[in-house]
Amino acid sequence: MQPRPLIVVRDVEASSRFYQALLACHSGHGGTEYERIVDAHGRLVLQLHGWDTEEHPHMGHPSRPVGNGVLLWFETPDFDAALARARSSGTIVLDGPLVNPNSGQRELWLRDPDGYVVVLATPETP
C-alpha cells in the first residue's frame, strides 16, 4: 500500500512553490487547480487541490479550519538542508529543531501557507 496524501489549498501554484522549495521536490503536473509534488525519482510525495471544485464534493469547505488533528509528516534524508531551506524561506516555525524522545528522530514543526502543520524529520533508525 502506498499513501497518496492530498490537501486542499487556496492557491495551488503558491503551495506548489512552497512544498517544492521546502522538500527539494518538483512539479509532476502543474496548474491552478491540481498539482502533484514528486521527488527526484518521480515518486508522488503530496497532492494539492484547489478549493473551487465540484469534482470532489467531500474534500471539505474553505470556511472551516484546515487540518485539525492531521500532520503532514515528511522524513527527509538531509534534515540539515531542509532546515536551512525552511529558515531561509521565512516559514513559520512552530517548534524545533528538536529530538523526539520517543522516536529519537530530529524534527522541525512548521505551518504551511494554508495553516496545515508540517513536520520534517530525520529517517527512523531501526
Q: Which helix (H) or strand (E) holds 71?
A: strand 71-75
Bridge-based pairing of strands 106-111 and 117-121 is antiparallel
pLDDT of residue 48: 96
Q: How many whole angstroms separate alpha carbon 13 and alpha carbon 30?
A: 8
Task: Considering only residues 124 and 54, tell me which one the structure prediction assigns the higher pLDDT.
Answer: 124
Q: List, for residues 15-64, the tens digit of each pLDDT value.
A: 999 999 999 999 999 889 999 999 999 999 999 999 876 677 777 777 88
Cell of 75: 522524513
Domain boundaries, the chain: 6-52+70-121
Per the prediction, the chain carries an average pLDDT of 92
Q: Helices 12-23 and 79-89 sit at what angle, rounded to 10 degrees?
A: 140
Task: Name the strand (E) or helix (H) holding 9.
Answer: strand 6-9
Residue 84's identity, in one-letter code, is A
Name the CATH architecture for the domain at 6-52+70-121.
Roll (3.10)
Q: Which pLDDT band holds residue 3 (cuts at 50, 70, 90)?
A: confident
Q: Is 25 exposed, middle or buried (0-12, 13-18, 19+ CB in 10 A)?
A: buried
Rounded to two decimals, what is the model's pTM?
Answer: 0.90
123 pLDDT higher than 90: yes
